Amino acid sequence: MSINAICYVGLASLSVMLLVYVFIRKRNYASLLLFLAMIGFGYIVEYVIYVLLDSYRYYPKLLSHNSYYDSSMGAIASNMLSLPSVATMIASFHMGWIPAIVSAIVFVGIEWGFLRLGIYEHHWWRLMYTGISLPFYFRFAVFLMNKIEKSARGFYKESFCFLFAVRCWGRFNLCLS
């Protein structure tokens, strides 16, 4: 297994362990629903930034036959596992801005490391964009968690299900390609 694959699989594995920890500690439906909603929300943002605007490229070297699909595997590790897992932890434990900012700094450090290793590259994206946007992503998760806990019925429940369905449909299309 290449260093590229080890880094991406390691990031995904740590994210899954964090998510399992959150689910064991919280033992509630709200955390799962939030995780799924954050996957969907992240997919919408990622579709614009990564797919339409070609902002960056991942090099996990998991699928050697097609570089687009290989890059998409890196996007899955990052945006379908890592970011939603941390957002779910921050929101499930009702953490404030400081943990959101610290988590953003950690992700900027991971991104910087991936850039230095040559397993990820920017086209027009910058580390600063990650550092500025992630605290808001994490705080948006707190906002959604508050809505889920108050009422997971009606508009919010359908919105969360829609966000997750969007992500599933996008990945389903990727698999069919």
The amino acid at residue 97 is W
- Is the separation of the CB atoms in 71 and 57 below 8 Å? yes
Cβ within 8 Å of residue 48, ≥6 positions away: none
Q: What is the pLDDT of residues 24-67, one digit of tens each?
A: 999 888 898 899 889 888 888 888 999 899 999 999 998 888 88
What is the pTM for the complete model shown? Answer: 0.87
Residue 88: the pLDDT is 97
| Token pair for 91 | 């929101």
* C-alpha–C-alpha distance, residues 3 and 117, integer Å: 9
Domain ranges of the chain: 3-176
Q: Return the bridge partners of 57, or none.
A: 121
From the list 11, 149, 1, 19, the residue with the least C-alpha distance to 62 is: 1
pLDDT at 120: 96
Q: Please give the pLDDT value at position 167.
A: 58
Positions in the chain whose pLDDT score sits under 50: 175-176
Give residue 113's identity as a one-letter amino acid code.
Answer: G
